[in-house]
Amino acid sequence: MKKAVIFDLDGTLTNTLKSLWKSTNMALATAGLPPHEIDSYKYFAGNGAKELIRKSLIADGDTELVHFDSVMEAYNRIFESPERKGTASGSELQQTAAAYSRCGGGDLRKRHV
């Protein structure tokens, strides 16, 4: 019998707000749109990247979502880039895995589904 544990790390077990804030503001800038304060992202985030971008654009006055496709493309490119800074770090993920292991879950690095 195979056993598996699946974690939703994004915002649940790790704090990714700073990552979302930086990546989205960088994506907005590619369309010449102004950035938002980090606290705004507490309300923008939570329902996936598309909704994050939609809410960010509306807050910038783009209620027709004219810039949606270009900002979404930029966001995906930026968010996935290894160069982005201030994100949920490997050390945070390692801490989560270590906590899981201490609770009797074993070594997550050795578990594959």
Average the pLDDT over 55-84 and give the result: 91
Cα–Cα dist 40/54, whole Å: 13
What three-state secondary structure class fits 78?
helix
Chain centre to alpha carbon of residue 33: 20
Confidence of residue 80 (pLDDT cuts 50, 70, 90): confident
For residue 66, the one-letter residue type is V
What is the structure's pLDDT at 82?
66
Q: What is the pTM of this model?
A: 0.65
pLDDT > 70: what percent of the chain? Answer: 60
